[in-house]
Amino acid sequence: MSLTYRDAGVNVARAEDALSKVRERIARTKRPEVIGEVGQFGGLFASPGADKVLVATTDGVGTKLEVARLLDRHEVVGADLVHHCVNDALAMGAEPLFFLDYFATSKIDPNVFSRVVGAMADACASVGTALLGGETAEMPGMYAPDTYDLAGFLVGVVDREKILGPQRVREGDALIGIPSSGLHTNGYSLAREIAARRAMHERSASLRDVLLAPRDELGGATLGAALLAVHRPYLAEFRALRAVADIHSIAHLTGGGWEGNLPRSLPEGTAASIDRASWEVPAVFSLLARLGDLEEMEQFDTWNMGIGLVLAIPAEAADAALEAVPGAIVLGEVVPHSSGRRVVFG
Amino acid sequence: MSLTYRDAGVNVARAEDALSKVRERIARTKRPEVIGEVGQFGGLFASPGADKVLVATTDGVGTKLEVARLLDRHEVVGADLVHHCVNDALAMGAEPLFFLDYFATSKIDPNVFSRVVGAMADACASVGTALLGGETAEMPGMYAPDTYDLAGFLVGVVDREKILGPQRVREGDALIGIPSSGLHTNGYSLAREIAARRAMHERSASLRDVLLAPRDELGGATLGAALLAVHRPYLAEFRALRAVADIHSIAHLTGGGWEGNLPRSLPEGTAASIDRASWEVPAVFSLLARLGDLEEMEQFDTWNMGIGLVLAIPAEAADAALEAVPGAIVLGEVVPHSSGRRVVFG
């Protein structure tokens, strides 16, 4: 009997079928700049003017994928992927224009695929970003059964003279924090390891049991639900803050936590002086820290600890910023740096 | 003892170290439009003018990754990823501008990482594309040991009035083919299945043995070497052909083979009439077909069969095209279509 591509585990029609279920939701992300239809060799998008600068970013969602899969919450990671990219782009001062996704798995499950990509499309629509294209890869044997990986690519636009960055920041600038919704999409390998060790410790408990147990610290909610809070997009807050203050730079607190990200938004020779009492670390972080017996610095080097975005603005604009963005906090200020860590907690 | 992120299998410094080895090669991809340095939250690239159209595309390299890993040829897939994206963009008529990559694995091997990303950077430099950014994801437990996945993302640019596509194609247009270097990056699951079955069949042989056996059909070369030919980039040929002919549309023959791709470049109501005798199918395809006992249509629906790019141009420009691009072939022409397959071999 002759062999076919289908025998080898690849079914080109399966990807097409899965995509057809979400085509309408993808169509709703269309912006006036989009030219033509999905399904061409490349997506077409009218270029902004030559006085503009394109901002390109790519991200994944890490092992939050495993938590989403275990608890059957695939929509979460679809939205996460878009929001993560949007936040990275606005950290450069950019508005999002278009997004593309890469979805890879061993065998496409049309139900899971349409839930993930449908959620991506809805997230794109809600932040006004065109879902311009994507690649769906069926790679037999490459991924464990039922697992998949995601990558997102986003292009945004910023006026050349409005590019944010360390070069704009001055000593004495106020550092404004905006709360996160939880771990966002970083530090899940550590969170999972903590939960897995807990499961071993509690003998008959499975990882799922640990994730689904109601927790007093979380007001009766579960660790699983807390871990699957959607990565918060900061586009509305960025716009509101930009309208009242001259933003100098923005740090998106992702992989590497505070020390891994905040210095990227500061000029050399400066540090961030952060008042630890200026906000309360959300319960999910203290719960994980307790379960894992984590040192505090390790937590701040891995997780966002309740602050997803840190903006440097002129000190005199701080009051206006707090008024413009409900929930925003003055975390501290930019100070001189001599040696050692560049994020100093006091 | 307290737990750390490193205990959980994630080492943020490892990704940084791996990247530092290839930083210089990445720097060589810089174009005048690139603003600032790698390592910001997003890569910055001066926008083309508002009369231009951006073309965005994303691709992976599929399970060619597994062949590259088995034979320790990681550079191949790095170059493949860039070339695949470049070819998809030029199929819309676009010149490449910038590229970003996503590299995901369970535990970063700095040697493998730098070979893959170094090869990507070199490929970007050779086609004049800026390597503007990337994401390196270390996801413990998500990937089998030593395996990794790649996704590429490329943005190119085309004049609005020069966008290629089915709308430009007329009945009677000549279809010009440009040879491929092999399977490029598609149909590897089938090729691997054929090799794996062969290994089972030959009893004591491993998959590696099958891939490394010298083959008469390949002039003594191995199947492994043939499968790891780099995906051919067609930028130079595209430019040369554009200089002498009014290109109407281009099909990049990738996943789905001929029927899956050629119709995407043709208007409704037309078909491609292809003279099977106009080129010789390379030996790697006939060898695979023989080993796997494949029907001919299955081969054409999976692989490119020796032709990587098909261009529709006015019939009267065919001679000039053949002269401009050494190795180019007149495959056939655009004809009316009533029903059934849209690629008709005669």
Confidence check: pLDDT of A204 > 80 = no
Q: Which residue of B53, B58, B157, B163 is the best one to mutate when testing the A interface, meaning the one whose CB has the most A CBs within 10 A?
A: B58
Strand segments, DSSP code E, in chain B are: 34-35, 43-46, 52-59, 95-105, 130-138, 148-159, 174-179, 249-252, 270-274, 307-313, 329-336, 343-345
Q: Do B264 and A40 touch (CB under 8 A)?
A: yes
- What is the band of B142 on the pLDDT scale with cuts at 50, 70, 90? confident
Residue of chain B whose alpha carbon sits nearest to that of A290: B2
Instruction: State pLDDT tens for residues A118-161.
Output: 999 999 999 999 999 999 999 988 898 899 999 999 999 999 99
- B103: nearest Cα among A149, A101, A142: A149
- What is the band of A217 on the pLDDT scale with cuts at 50, 70, 90? very high
Between A50, A163, A252, which is nearest B48 by CB?
A50
ipTM of the complex: 0.96
- B92: nearest Cα among B321, B250, B325: B250
Between A60, A194, A252, which is nearest B137 by CB?
A60
pLDDT of residue A38: 65
What is the b/e burial string over A332-345, where b = at least 16 CB atoms within 10 angstroms of the residue's CB? bbbbebeeeebbeb
Question: Chain-centre distance of CA A250, in angstroms?
Answer: 15
Three-class DSSP category at A40: coil
Where in chain B are the domains?
A: 12-162, 166-345
- Across A28-40, average pLDDT: 89
- A301: nearest Cα among A339, A254, A346, A336: A254
Options 3.90.650.10, 3.40.50.80, 1.10.10.60, 3.40.1350.10; CATH for B166-345 is: 3.90.650.10
- What is the band of B12 on the pLDDT scale with cuts at 50, 70, 90? confident
Confidence check: pLDDT of A3 > 90 = no
Residue of chain B whose alpha carbon sits nearest to that of A293: B2
Which of A105-109, B196-200, B203-207, B277-281 is most confident? B277-281
- B78: nearest Cα among B183, B180, B151: B151
pLDDT of residue A2: 67
pLDDT of residue B37: 75
Continuous H helices in B228-317: 235-244, 257-261, 283-292, 296-300
Q: Which residue of A54, A65, A249 is the best one to mutate when testing the B interface, meaning the one whose CB has the most B CBs within 10 A?
A: A54
Q: Do B189 and A56 touch (CB under 8 A)?
A: no
A264 CB neighbours in chain B (<8 A) are: 39-41
DSSP A275: -
Q: Do A91 and B42 touch (CB under 8 A)?
A: yes
H or E element in which residue A345 lies = strand A343-345
B338 or A300, which is more confident: A300
A190 CB neighbours in chain B (<8 A) are: 3-5, 8, 10
State how far the alpha carbon of A195 is from the alpha carbons of A148, A191, B259, in Å: 21, 6, 49
Distance (Å, rounded) from C-alpha A98 to C-alpha B56? 9
Asked if residue B195 lies in contact with residue B284, where contact means CB atoms within 8 angstroms, the answer is: no
Q: How far is the alpha carbon of A172 from chain B, nearest alpha carbon, in Å?
A: 22
B197 CB neighbours in chain A (<8 A) are: 3
Distance (Å, rounded) from C-alpha B114 to C-alpha B87? 24
Residue of chain B whose alpha carbon sits nearest to that of A157: B47
Whether the predicted model's global pTM rises above the 0.90 cut: yes
Torsion of CA A318, A320, A321, A327, to 10 degrees: 110
> Angle, nearest 10°, between helix axes A110-126 and A74-90?
30
Q: Which residue of B135, B188, B300 is the best one to mutate when testing the A interface, meaning the one whose CB has the most A CBs within 10 A?
A: B135
State how far the alpha carbon of B258 is from the alpha carbons of B63, B97, B177, B190, B253, in Å: 20, 28, 12, 16, 6
Task: Identify the CATH class of A12-162.
Answer: alpha beta
Q: How far is the alpha carbon of B7 from chain A, nearest alpha carbon, in Å?
A: 8
